Structures are given as structure tokens and as C-alpha cells.
Amino acid sequence: MEVLIVLSCITFLILLISLWKINAFLAFLIISLLGGLLLGMPAASVSASVQKGIGDMLGSLVIIVVGGAMLGKLVADSGAALRITDAMMGLFGLKRIQWGLMATGFVIGITMFYTVGFVLVIPLIFSVVYRYKLPAVYTGLPMIAALSVTHGFLPPHPSPTALVAQFHADMGTTLWYGVLIGIPTVILAGPVFTQSLKGLQKPMLKTFAKTEESNYQTPTVAQSALSSLLPVLLLSASSLLLLVTQPTGMTRSLISFFADPAVVMLLAVLYATWSLGVRLGRSIADVMSVYVDAVKDIGMILLIMGGAGALKQVLIDSGVSVTIAEGLARLPVHPLVLGWLIAAIIRVCVGSATVAGLTAAGIVLPLLEQSGADPNLMVLAIGAGSLMFSHVNDSGFWLFKEYFNLSIRETIRSWSLMETIVAFSGLAGVLLINALH
């Protein structure tokens, strides 16, 4: 019964947005409240879950998304994105630019949270699209696929790291297997799959378009790259320091503070304000006006992500994800396939890859101990399942949809199918390594 209610709510949500043209944020609020009541939650608890879901989602993302939009807008407006684009084009060539973006996304994604990576790579993708008149989805999806794979497969991302600890797996082995499986997965979900999306062309957001007329200096390639990738460098350096030096006490707290994505993004914006603004002859007031324009462009995106967080929280608090998982655990299938399946079903119902992974882990742990399956491969099987068919209850779905200016149908055709390819390819890789083990 719970599954039927969840499916009905998701269907109704799609109809509200696509057929009846209701604003997505309002549609999420309606469905979240209705779904909570239908799932048997007390009325007061439903309202509290909605507020908590919005607060948790925006609380963790608003600084990152807003900071990333500010940085991206300045990178584009200053000409830094075009500098980087020209350098990439010289290295890979126009015919192989997808592969260049994909490789860059994979490297960035190893140490960077998905949302942080997304808002940072978007200006690079759009600069290529604007400069060379390429289809945006076809050009950018391989880079986004790389970010998604690293988010679901590789430590130090939250879900894989937590699963390694819970299953007593080996971090190094899991990371090695993850890279081994992740590379062909990204190729299939990126350059191969996007051959079918060349005809998908939509008007692009003007947020990251380079202003044609400018009285300011243009940054060098080195300045452009450093300003754009500073968050990656800061996160990588802090992670490496924690791993190599293994500090304790105040030193560890200080490094962890500067490794926080929100702090990193703030530092990156402040540095870019100087390196791409004041240093090149702009006034502080002029740079701040660029930031104001950037925030205007993403206001609705933030609200939609908050709405997705509300629905996710209602589904979690209602207990429907645990009910579904416990029912699936009785199926007579291989433990690795079962872990993948449980995570995939929860992902489709709840929307959050991290929640899907951690919920599936709690159900599969006793089976893992009984079956003797490789814990490193179980981490990756659940990680792959947790990326299955992202749709309207996932904030990543809306982030991709709004930035690439797509309809729900077009987003499902591109983003959702890409995530599905990642999920099945990841499972195939896990089973292949298990067979050769």
C-alpha cells in the first residue's frame, strides 16, 4: 500500500508541474503535505517534516549553490571561462572536447561534493557551448556523469565512506575498485550515451554568457584556472593533509574547518573578487553587481531544491523506505544484486542517493555477514544502486533541469537515463570483478 501511495504522489507531482503548469516549488509543498497524510503521519508531524526537509536541504546547499553561482558568473563575465575553454580546446580539440570535459569532471569529482562540483563545472560547460555553438546537453552531460559516478562510487564522498566503515571494507581497495568500474561507466553514460542527444537543443541561460563589451583587463590562463579551481585545490589539500599527517586536537579542527565546502566556497569567492575583479581594474561595487545578478538567476532553483528536500523528508519520516527495503531483503537473489536492488528502489522512492545508500546498508549488513560477499564490492553495488533513475524527488534532477533549461520529459530523457545507465553499468562492473575475484 505504501509503495502505491508513493508512486501515486510522484505521478501527481509530475502532472501538477508538466500538465497543469503549477510552479514546481508549490507543487512540491502540495505533494509533500498530501503524501505525509496519506502515509499515516500525524498532521503536525507532516508540517514539521516539510519544514525540516526544506531547512536541511537549503541549510546544506544554499551557501554552496549561491557561492558557486557568484563564482561562475564572475568567471564568465571576466573572460576567465573563455580562457580556460581555449586552453582545453587546444589540448583536446573540438572533436574530443566531450572527453576533455569528462576527464576534468572525474578529477574534480574525486574530492568534491556533487553539488559543489556541479556549480563549478557549469561555467566551463556553458563557455564551450556559447563559444562553439554546441548542443549544451550533448556537450556537458559527460562531465556531469563523471561527477555523479564519483559521488556514488568513491570515498571520500559521504555515502561510500560511511558504507566502507559500516561493512568494515578497505578504503584503498574500495577506491581502486571504484575507479576501475567508474571509468568505463562514465564513458558509457557520457560520450557513448550522449550520441543520442545531439538533437536536444534548448535556449541556454544567460547567466554564464560572456559580456561582449568590456573595459577591463582579461585574466591570464593561469589566473583563470586558479580562480576557477581554487575550491578543488583547497578541498584536495585539506583531505591530503588529514590523510598524511593524521593531526589531532586543534590542528585537526582547524584543517577540518577549512575543508568544509561552505568555507571553501566563501574563500574562493573572496579570492576571485580580487583576482578576477579588483586586480583587473573592477571596482568592488561592480563585482558585487555581478554577484547580485548571479543570485537573481538561481533563486527559483534554490526554492525547487528546498521543495524536493521537503518531499524527501516526508518519505523518510513516514518510514516507507525501511518498509520497502525489508520486503526486498527476503528475495532469493545474490547479496550484491540484492544490495543494489534495495538501494535502487529506495533511491527511486526517496530521491536522495545518500539516504538510499545508508538505508540499504542497514538492511544488507546481516546478509553480508552470512553470505561472505566481498564488502568492498558491496559498497560499490549499493553505491551504484543509489544512483538509479533520478527523477522529480531528487534535487539533482531539478538542478540539471533548471540550469540546462529543459522540460521534465527532456530531463528524464537525458539526466534520468544517464543515471540509470550509471546504475546498471556499475552493477555489471561489480559482478564482473566478483566473478574474476
- Over residues 115-174, the pLDDT tens digits come to 778 887 888 898 888 888 899 999 999 999 999 999 899 876 778 877 888 888 988 899
Spell 266-301 as b/e; 16+ CB within 10 A means b.
Answer: bebbebbbebbbebbebeeeebeebbeebeebbeeb
% residues pLDDT > 90 (the chain): 39
For 190-243, write each residue's pLDDT tens digit. 999 999 999 888 877 666 665 555 567 889 999 988 998 888 788 778 878 877
What is the grid cell recorded at 281?
581594474
- Side chain identity at 337, as an amino acid letter? V
Most confident of 12-21, 63-72, 194-203, 363-372: 194-203
User: Cα separation of 309 and 350, whole Å?
Assistant: 10
pLDDT digits (tens, 9 = 90+) for 404-415: 999 999 999 999
Cα–chain center distance at 207: 20
Q: Is the pLDDT of residue 85 over 90?
A: no
Domain boundaries, the chain: 2-436
Q: What average pLDDT score do residues 69-87 get?
A: 84
pLDDT at residue 13 above 90? Answer: no
* Single-letter residue type at 223: Q
Q: Residue 189: what pLDDT?
A: 97
169: phi > 0 → left, psi -120 to 50 → alpha, else beta; which? Answer: beta
Output the CA angle 10-15-20, nearest 5 degrees.
Answer: 150
Using CA atoms, how far residue 166 sits from 224, 328, 366, 394, in Å, is 41, 20, 11, 25
Query: Per-residue pLDDT averaged across 175-189, rounded?
Result: 95
pTM here is 0.77
Contact between 323 and 2 (Cβ < 8 Å): yes
How many Å apart are CA 436 and CA 49, to the nearest integer? 46
Note the pLDDT of residue 316: 85
Residue 90, C-beta contacts closer than 8 angstroms, at least 6 positions apart: none
By the 10 Å C-beta count (0-12 exposed, 13-18 middle, 19+ buried), 253 is classed as: exposed
Read off the DSSP letter of residue 59: H
Average pLDDT over residues 8-24: 85
Kindly report, residue by residue over 91-106, the tens digit of the pLDDT.
889 889 999 999 888 8
C-alpha distances in Å from residue 201, one per residue of 39, 144, 318:
40, 17, 40
Summary mean pLDDT of the chain = 87
Give the H or E element holding residue 104: helix 97-111
320 HSE (CA, 13 A, CB side): 28
pLDDT in tens, 257-266: 888 888 888 9
Residue ranges with strand state E in 269-333: none
316's CB contacts (< 8 A; 6+ apart) are 350, 355
Task: For 269-308, write each residue's pLDDT tens digit.
Answer: 999 999 999 999 999 999 999 999 888 877 887 888 788 8
User: Residue 155 — φ and ψ, nearest 5°?
Assistant: -65, 150
Interatomic CA distance for residues 312 and 50, integer angstroms: 9
Angle value at C-alpha 86, between 83 and 91, nearest 5 degrees: 130
- What pLDDT score was predicted for residue 208? 66
